[in-house]
Amino acid sequence: MAGTLALEATGLRKSYGGVVAVNSVELAVEAGVVLGFLGPNGAGKTTVIRILSTILRADAGTFAVSGIPHTDPVEIRRRIGVLPESAGYPLGQTGQEWLTFHAQLFGRPLVEARETAHRLLAEVGLADRGGSLISAYSRGMRQRLGIARALVNDPQVVFLDEPTLGLDPAGQRQVLDLVARIAKEYGVTVILTTHLLVEVEQVCDQVLILNHGRVVAEGTVAEVARRAAAPRRGLVSVRAEQRERAVELLAGSGLQASAVGNDHGGQVAVLIPVDTEPETAAAEVLRRLLDAGVPVLGFTLEGGRLSDAFLAVTEDA
């Protein structure tokens, strides 16, 4: 339905005994988006996912999945797929048997359930291993099988809680490529929990960062990196004998500049304010120095990545 958000939540709150795990969480996720759901260990990500997937009841707040209110958990469950943080697999079954069983649980007749299992095994790159026992699958293969299971009911929203946990770099890449592909091909909304920030930059349209149960940053990767990041730093290389002059010139034009390195290397660090585009700041720095006849040997920008933003908004004071 046009205009319906895939996910929306207001004032979600959950405590375990005296521990407030989730506090005043608001969400609004458009359909078809891959959302990187980030936060340090214990931030509350799994708790939010459990609430939204109707496994756990919130103490307060409301939410809706594809327009279905939280008061109708049975209908929500029809529309979602979940790969839990620590998914268990029946080791004595084959991947094909297990997926067929789950397709039947969602009401598909046996023949259709088998076809669904077959199609999904191919989708996650396990076409030739469907007849093998799950006990013989590697961890990466099990994670991909778990993603196939999460798709068995053609969901509109899929929650993947740390699908890359414990995988080697090639396995991580395979799973993240799969996530990007299913979002594109199936048009599903994906809520992806992971600690792989560089990969999030490549796969996710949007990110939301939780810290101590609260949302501390959200938006596109670029927005979050820009807004939440600590001020970025430009490093300008000049001749050692020109370094003090360069600092004076830049400081004189209102920038925070300081000399770095030793007498043999001439580098000047320039702090770039958060509200200034790095390209604009870089052009200004270069223009100032070149106009004054100070040759610039190099210029690099540090900061402004998602990982910088993540650290900036989750660092405890």
Ligand X SMILES: Nc1ncnc2c1ncn2[C@@H]1O[C@H](COP(=O)(O)OP(=O)(O)OP(=O)(O)O)[C@@H](O)[C@H]1O
86 is a site residue for ligand X (CB under 6 A): no
With binding defined as CB under 6 A, does residue 21 bind ligand X? yes
Backbone angles phi, psi at 83, to 5 degrees: -110, 105
Encoded tokens for 248: 């004076």
Pick between residue 21 and residue 29 the one whose CB is nearest to ligand X: 21
- First-residue to last-residue Cα distance in the chain: 44
Stretch that binds ligand X, among 15-23, 104-112, 220-228, 246-254 (CB under 6 A): 15-23
Residue (46 or 153) nearer to ligand X, CB: 46
The dihedral formed by the CA atoms of 166, 169, 172 and 176, expressed in degrees to the nearest 10: 160
**Interface with ligand X includes 278 (CB under 6 A)?**
no
Q: Report the 10 Å Cβ neighbour count for 197.
A: 20
Q: Report the alpha-carbon distance of residue 83 to residue 144 in Å, rounded.
A: 10
Coil, helix or strand for 34? strand
Q: Is 232 in the site for ligand X (CB under 6 A)?
A: no
Least distance to ligand X from the beta carbon of 58, Å? 12
Q: Which of 16, 57, 91, 302 binds ligand X (CB under 6 A)?
A: 16
Told to check if 65 binds ligand X by CB under 6 A, we report: no
Which H or E element spans position 234?
strand 232-238
300 touches 281 (CB < 8 A): no
Query: Given candidates 34, 45, 143, 156, which one binds ligand X under the rule CB under 6 A?
Result: 45
- Near ligand X by CB under 6 A: residue from 36, 44, 146, 304: 44
CA dist 160 and 179 (Å) reads 9
Helix (H, G, I), strand (E, B) or coil at 212: coil
**Count of residues binding ligand X (CB under 6 A)?**
12
The residue among 85 and 223 lying less far from ligand X, judged by its C-beta, is: 85
β-sheet with 266-272: strand ranges across: 256-260, 266-272, 232-238, 298-302
Cross-strand pairs, 10: 62
Closer of 8 and 161 to ligand X (Cβ): 161
Q: Could you say which of 6, 33, 35, 47 contacts ligand X (CB under 6 A)?
A: 47
Q: How far is the CB of 36 from ligand X (least distance, A)?
A: 13
Residue 49 or 158: the one with the smaller Cβ distance to ligand X is 49
Single residue of 39, 81, 266, 303 touching ligand X by CB under 6 A: 39
Which of residues 29, 34, 46, 83 is near ligand X by CB under 6 A? 46
Region from 5-13, 14-22, 236-244, 250-258 binding ligand X, contact rule CB under 6 A: 14-22
Q: Judged by CB under 6 A, which of 7, 33, 43, 313 binds ligand X? A: 43
> Closer CB to ligand X, residue 42 or residue 73?
42
- The residue among 78 and 195 lying less far from ligand X, judged by its C-beta, is 195
Is residue 42 within the footprint of ligand X (CB under 6 A)? yes
Residue holding tokens 């390209």? 279
Q: Which of 40-48, 182-190, 232-240, 296-304 is the region at the interface with ligand X (rule: CB under 6 A)?
A: 40-48
User: For residue 294, how many other CB atoms are within 10 A of its CB?
Assistant: 20
For residue 63, give the nearest of 14, 10, 24 by alpha carbon.
10
**Contact by Cβ (8 Å): 22, 81:** no
CA distance 317 to 309: 15
Distance CA 145, CA 115 (A): 15
Does residue 211 belong to the site contacting ligand X (CB under 6 A)?
no
Q: Which residues bind ligand X (CB under 6 A)?
A: 16, 19, 21, 39, 41-47, 85
